[in-house]
Structure 1
Amino acid sequence: MYYDLHIHTTASDGMFSPEQIIKYSIEFGLFGIAITDHDTIDGLEPALNYNSSTGSKLKFIPGIELNTELNDIEVHILGYFIDYKNQALKNRLQEVRECRYERAQKMINKLRSMGFQITFDYVKQLAQGDLIGRPHVAQALMAKGYVFSLKEAFDKYISKGRAAYVPRYKFTPNEAINLIKQAGGISVLAHPGLIKDQRLINEVVDMGVEGIEAYYPEHSDSQINRFLSFSSEKKLYVTGGSDFHGTSGDESRGRLGCIGVSYDLVKKLYEHKGSIS
Structure 2
Amino acid sequence: MDLALDEIDGLLTDYMYGDDSALDGLLAAGPVSLRRLLAIRAGRAEPGWDMVEIMRHDRDDYRRPGEAQIHLARAFPDTFFDEAAEDPVHESAIMETLEYIKDPRVLPFLERQLRARSPEYRRRALRGLAENGTADHTEVVAACLADPEARSEAVNTLARLGDARAVGPLLREHLADDSSFARCAGIALDQVEQRIGGPPAPPVWRELGPVVFTAKAVLGVPWWVTEVLVEPGQTVRGGELMATLENDAVCQELIADWPGTVTEVRIAVGDQVPEEAVVLVVQSRRRIG
Q: TM class, shorter-chain normalised?
A: under 0.3
Q: TM-score, normalised by structure 2?
A: 0.26
Q: TM-score, normalised by structure 1?
A: 0.27
| Higher gyration radius (CA) | 2
